[in-house]
A and B are shown apart, each in its own frame.
Chain A
Amino acid sequence: NAGVMQNPRHLVRRRGQEARLRCSPMKGHSHVYWYRQLPEEGLKFMVYLQKENIIDESGMPKERFSAEFPKEGPSILRIQQVVRGDSAAYFCASSPGTGAHEQYFGPGTRLTVT
Chain B
Amino acid sequence: SQQGEEDPQALSIQEGENATMNCSYKTSINNLQWYRQNSGRGLVHLILIRSNEREKHSGRLRVTLDTSKKSSSLLITASRAADTASYFCATEETGANNLFFGTGTRLTVIP
Contact = CB atoms under 8 A, between A and B. Distances in A.
Interface of A: 4, 33, 35, 41-45, 48, 55-56, 58-59, 91, 93, 98-100, 102-108, 110
B81 interface: no
Interface of B: 1, 3-4, 30-31, 33, 35, 40-45, 48, 50, 88, 90, 92, 96-104
Contacts of B96: 56
Contacts of A106: 42
Nearest to A110: B40
Contact of A102 (B33, B88, B103): B33
B104 A42 contact: yes
Contact of A43 (B40, B41, B88, B92): B88
A42 B34 CA distance: 12
Task: Give the secondary structure class of B's interface.
Answer: strand
Given A42-B103, A43-B101, A59-B98, A100 B43 contact: no
A108 B48 contact: no
Choose among A41, A43, A106, A110 the residue with the greatest number of B CB atoms under 10 Å from its CB. Answer: A43
A107 B48 CA distance: 20
A98 B33 CA distance: 14
B101 A42 contact: yes
22 contacts: A4-B42, A33-B99, A35-B101, A41-B103, A42-B88, A42-B101, A42-B104, A43-B90, A45-B101, A48-B98, A59-B98, A93-B43, A99-B30, A100-B48, A100-B50, A100-B92, A102-B33, A105-B42, A105-B43, A107-B42, A108-B42, A110-B40
A41 B101 CA distance: 9
Nearest to B33: A102
A106 B43 CA distance: 8
